[in-house]
Amino acid sequence: MSKNTELSTVEKKALLITEFVDEVAILKINRPEKLNALNTEMIEALKVELKRLEDNEKVKGIILTGVEKSFIVGADISEMKNLSTESSIKFISNLHELINTIRNLNKPVIAAVNGYCFGAGLELAISCDLTICSKEASFGMQEVKIGIPSVIEAALFPFIIGLNKTRELLLTGDVIDSKTAIEIGLVNHVVEHSELMEKTMEYTLKITVNPSYSVMLQKQLINRWLDNAGLNQSIQNGVDYFGRAFSHPDTNKIMGDALK
């Protein structure tokens, strides 16, 4: 396999690293000092880079992963702690736009979960076409612990792990390990940490070997099934409830305390 690294406009900021292995792009989130938390700058950078990769005719598939010990630890609390009802709706809508871009991308996107995968990071991972994780990965939806509900693509959880497990995961905010994640169907495969990228590439190639147009049509049809089940309305309801959480006087304080 041939491998090269290409720097794009957003990558000059060191937020993202894109490598190409033959016809597969490996997109690495590179904000280790914040455990790859998603702030507005990172969200915008990802949207730009994903669009660039979608427009690149040489790219047949995309692997999304994080650097060092984290995939994505969630949305950046440092930014969220200062939000109001109005700005929180703008922030969460922008985050949904990013994740929705991944779900609707014409090319397959595979998540290689290398470590911490919490909150918005987990919503992003389950919105990818496959989720492969390291044995060292851990997962959780901890929003309820910092005064907000889990929203937007959290609406996918009942389809993936069932209603009872969704309730348990979202209402407790518990963190689970990779063994539990595969047992409840949260991820597709668990592999040795040292083999994560190799195995993820293998699964990606199982998809990209198929005709690109048929893969695109299948993705579109799966999304249509979810739309028919009311996913989009559930996400919009989540945006509204997210804003309501920031109208409570304790929310910003709880988030500030969580950073101490």
What phi and psi, each to the nearest 5 degrees, are found at residue 70? -135, 140
Span 221-237, pLDDT tens digits = 999 999 999 999 999 99
CA distance 256 to 76: 12
Span 67-108, pLDDT tens digits = 999 999 999 999 999 999 999 999 999 999 999 999 999 999
In the chain, the domains with their CATH numbers are 3-258 (3.90.226.10)
Tokens of 101: 């871009």
CA distance 260 to 241: 26
What phi and psi, each to the nearest 5 degrees, are found at residue 89? -65, -40
Tokens of 102: 């991944």
Contact present, 213 and 42 (Cβ < 8 Å): no
Span 119-134, pLDDT tens digits = 999 999 999 999 999 9
CA atoms in the 13 A half-sphere facing the CB of 80: 27
Measured over the CA atoms of residue 147, residue 99, residue 228 and residue 226, the dihedral's sign is: negative
CA distance 41 to 118: 19
CA distance 203 to 57: 20
Determine which one of 11, 49, 123, 153 is catalytic.
Answer: 123
143 is catalytic: yes
Contact present, 89 and 242 (Cβ < 8 Å): yes
The model's pTM: 0.92
CA distance 190 to 49: 27
Best CA proximity match to 83, nearest among 260, 247, 258, 259: 247
pLDDT string in tens for the chain (260-residue length): 445 554 444 434 589 999 999 999 999 999 999 999 999 999 999 999 999 999 999 999 999 999 999 999 999 999 999 999 999 999 999 999 999 999 999 999 999 999 999 999 999 999 999 999 999 999 999 999 999 999 999 999 999 999 999 999 999 999 999 999 999 999 999 999 999 999 999 999 999 999 999 999 999 999 999 999 999 999 999 999 999 999 999 999 999 999 98
- pLDDT given for residue 260 in this prediction: 84
57 is catalytic: no
Determine which one of 49, 143, 168, 183 is catalytic.
Answer: 143
